[in-house]
Amino acid sequence: MAMLEIKDLEVYYGMIHAIKGVSFEVNEGEVIALIGANGAGKTTILHTITGLLAAKSGSVTFEGENITKIPAHKIVSLGMAHVPEGRRVFAELSVYQNLKMGAYTRSDKNEIESTLSMVYKRFPRLEERKNQMAGTLSGGEQQMLAMGRALMSHPKIILMDEPSMGLSPILVNEIFDIIRSVNETGTTVLLVEQNAKKALAIANRAYVLETGKIVTSGNADILMNDNAIKKAYLGE
Amino acid sequence: MSFLNYLISGISLGSVYAIIALGYTMVYGIAKMLNFAHGDVIMVGAYTVFIATASAGLPTIPAIILSMIVCTALGMAIEKVAYRPLRNAASPLAVLITAIGVSYLLQNLALLIFGSNTKSFTSAVNFPAIKLAGGQLNITGETSVTILACVLIMIGLTLFINKTKPGQAMLAVSEDKGAAQLMGINVNGTIALTFAIGSALAAIAGVLLCSAYPSLTPYTGSMPGIKAFVAAVFGGIGSVPGAMIGGILLGIIEIFGKAYISSQMADAIVFAVLIVVLLVKPTGLMGKKIQEKV
């Protein structure tokens, strides 16, 4: 059984039919990439999964439980974290406060402390800047903070929305290395990216989204050598 | 010596404004709305104490606690019935106009229930006046209690926001409701809690205000409400220390204006100072710089 299963999802923004019957699944331990151009509906799908948007019809099932109607604030404690597009760190709070906010639903102080030291180990720069206000961090550091904050909930699956957006090529590589290592330590990853090349390089499987519909899917290494995909998304 | 007397009564009046302004500023910071009915919650709080002590014969402290409970329930009910359905309305004006409507509704309900006669409020403060400098400096019990209450509320609120989980949730919600939800924070619950705290503080402000100025009518909360709103803007709306500083400065300016310039002009002076502050520092004294970062 898939860990996360999206079935016949339809989402509207007012009159706009944004997602037109999307189905896909994510198995435990996988890195799944959702690629597509700007406006294809990638972010909308993530927002619907975590309850920030309501689906018109269709279902989202997580570990066998239908979570379509569960409000956004109850999702994270099920074991699903979402790193939103544009990082959305709490700019007026310190790095440390942001990380603590990520563990908002957890109560065991010792467990939170051990997750925190794990996050600091993964992102030493966050520890160096723990008392700095998040708004003063660079874009790359804010992305690390957003990822660290999500990890603080100790998720089974982590949804990442455009983690490479606006970052320099070196930082993009660094971020993708981190995503790979987060996955290797046992967290399933659903990755939304415009940088299809990078996303396919670390994904097991991928789904290609065009104007609210999945047009192609398959193993990442096969998609990477698909001529149509190469032309449309990989710039070759 | 009269200067010191004026200063102290200014701080005392300002403390009441500060307590009311906290309600304005917290609700603005978290729900991004101006709750213009906040002043009238003060009036409801004062009437509750008046009825509880004068008609029901309750002692002062239980009456004040009852009043806080009534105001908390009222504030949460207003939020749930009148404001929450409009939270995602297309225009932010919808909720602003509703707030003005709620304000008139409360005033007119009070008019209907209690009548338009001025009730003479018996001071809830039972604390001796302090006479210093051979009787030249006279600090009434009301003054001391008001200033003390303001300081305690300020300390309590600061600790609450910085040291407790619901307080941290307020900070998160005030910055980014969506991201707060992703952290597992119940945004509607946090906004309701903010209204609850603001309204409980309004009850305390109502008692303190009517103890110092003992005439109670359905319009009692209206002018202090507006002045506290000015205080909140003056200090930087959304900022808790700003509400405190704005409130106290406003009280001092008002009393000095009355004492040294003209008692008729005092309110005009208060608003003129606000205009000058906003021209020089548009976000208020403690206001955050508005930065746009892409």
DSSP letter for each residue of A129-177: TTTSBGGGS-HHHHHHHHHHHHHTT--SEEEEE-TTTT--HHHHHHHHH
Residue B211: CB atoms within 10 A of its CB come to 24
* A91 chain-B contacts, CB cut-off 8 A: 175, 293
CB contact under 8 A, A73 and B184: yes
DSSP state of A187: -
Which of A26-30, B57-61, B194-198 is predicted with the least confidence, judged by mean pLDDT?
B57-61
CA distance to partner chain A, nearest, from residue B199 (Å): 26
Q: What is the pLDDT of residue A132?
A: 96
* B288 chain-A contacts, CB cut-off 8 A: 92
DSSP string, B70-85: HHHHHHHHHIIIIIGG
Domain-located, residue A64: yes
CB contact under 8 A, A90 and B171: yes
Please give the helix or strand (H or E) that residue B148 lies within, else none.
helix B141-163
* B180 chain-A contacts, CB cut-off 8 A: 73, 101
Q: Which residue among A76, A92, A97 sits closest to B182, beta carbon to beta carbon?
A: A76
The residue type found at B146 is: T
Q: How far apart are CA A221 and CA A228, in angstroms?
A: 14
Angle at A96 between CA A95 and CA A99, to 5 degrees: 90
The residue type found at B76 is: M
Q: How far apart are CA A32 and CA B56, in angstroms?
A: 68
Domain-located, residue A46: yes
Q: What is the pLDDT of residue B292?
A: 46
Q: How many domains does chain A have?
A: 1
Strands A157-161 and A188-193: parallel
CB contact under 8 A, A104 and B169: yes
Q: What is the pLDDT of residue A206?
A: 95
Q: What is the pLDDT of residue B37?
A: 95
* Half-sphere CA count of A228, side-chain side, radius 13 A: 5
Confidence of residue B289 (pLDDT cuts 50, 70, 90): low
Tell how far CA B62 is from the center of its chain: 21
Interface subset of A 13-52, CB within 8 angstroms of B: 50-52
pLDDT reading at B1 higher than 90: no
Torsion of CA B233, B236, B237, B242, to 10 degrees: -110
pLDDT averaged over chain B? 91
Q: How far apart are CA B208 and CA A53, in angstroms?
A: 45
Q: How would you write the pLDDT of chain A (236 residues) with one tens digit per residue?
A: 799 999 999 999 888 999 999 999 999 999 999 998 888 899 999 999 999 999 999 999 999 999 999 999 999 999 999 999 999 999 999 999 999 999 999 999 999 999 999 999 999 999 999 999 999 999 999 999 999 999 999 999 999 999 999 899 999 999 999 999 999 999 999 999 988 999 999 999 999 999 999 999 999 999 988 888 888 877 76
pLDDT in tens, B123-178: 877 777 888 777 778 888 899 999 999 999 999 999 999 999 999 999 999 999 99
Domain-located, residue A186: yes
Q: What is the pLDDT of residue B136?
A: 77
Residue B141 near residue B128, CB atoms below 8 Å: yes
> How many beta-carbon pairs under 8 angstroms link A with B?
68
Q: C-alpha distances in angstroms, A158 versus A122, B35, B60, B149?
A: 16, 38, 55, 47
B291–chain A Cβ distance below 8 A for any pair:
yes
Q: What is the pLDDT of residue B121?
A: 86
Nearest partner of A10 among A212, A192, A217, judged by Cα: A212
CATH of the domain at A199: 3.40.50.300
B182–chain A Cβ distance below 8 A for any pair:
yes
CB contact under 8 A, A93 and B182: no
CB contact under 8 A, B184 and A76: yes
The pTM (predicted TM-score) of the whole model is: 0.90
Domain-located, residue A84: yes
The region, left, alpha or beta by phi > 0 then psi within -120 to 50, assigned to residue A54 is beta
B165–chain A Cβ distance below 8 A for any pair:
yes
> In 3-state terms, what secondary structure has residue B253?
helix
Residue B159: CB atoms within 10 A of its CB come to 11
Nearest partner of B232 among B250, B220, B206, B219, judged by Cα: B250
Domain-located, residue A55: yes
pLDDT in tens, B6-45: 999 999 999 999 999 999 999 999 988 999 999 999 999 9
Q: How far apart are CA A184 and CA A122, in angstroms?
A: 13
Nearest CA in chain A to B170: A101
* A93 chain-B contacts, CB cut-off 8 A: 171-172, 175
CB contact under 8 A, B181 and A73: yes
CB contact under 8 A, A90 and B179: yes
A12–chain B Cβ distance below 8 A for any pair:
no
CA distance to partner chain B, nearest, from residue A149 (Å): 9
Q: What is the pLDDT of residue A115?
A: 96
CB contact under 8 A, B181 and A51: yes
Q: How far apart are CA B268 and CA B230, in angstroms?
A: 12
Counting runs of H as helices and runs of E as strands, what totals does chain A give?
A: 9, 10
The length of chain A, given as a count of residues: 236
CB contact under 8 A, B178 and A84: yes
A82–chain B Cβ distance below 8 A for any pair:
yes
- Domain assignment of residue A60, given as a range: 4-90+155-233
Helix, strand, coil percentages, rounded to 5, for chain B: 75, 5, 25
Q: Is the dihedral of CA B79, B212, B124, B18 positive or negative?
A: positive
Domain-located, residue A182: yes
Q: How far apart are CA B5 and CA A39, in angstroms?
A: 66
Domain-located, residue A139: no
Residue A19 near residue A41, CB atoms below 8 Å: yes
CB contact under 8 A, A93 and B165: no
Residue B102 near residue B78, CB atoms below 8 Å: yes
Nearest partner of B227 among B241, B247, B212, judged by Cα: B247
Q: How far apart are CA B39 and CA B29, in angstroms?
A: 17
CA distance to partner chain A, nearest, from residue B158 (Å): 15
DSSP string, B199-221: HHHHHHHHHHHHHHS-EE-TTTT
* B179 chain-A contacts, CB cut-off 8 A: 84, 88-90
Q: C-alpha distances in angstroms, B99 versus B38, B49, B85, B192?
A: 9, 24, 13, 15
A105–chain B Cβ distance below 8 A for any pair:
yes
A93–chain B Cβ distance below 8 A for any pair:
yes
Please give the helix or strand (H or E) that residue A188 lies within, else none.
strand A188-193
Q: How far apart are CA A25 and CA A44, in angstroms?
A: 16
Nearest CA in chain B to A74: B184
Residue A214 near residue A19, CB atoms below 8 Å: no
* B182 chain-A contacts, CB cut-off 8 A: 50, 52, 72, 75-76, 81-82, 84
Domain-located, residue A162: yes
CB contact under 8 A, A72 and B181: yes
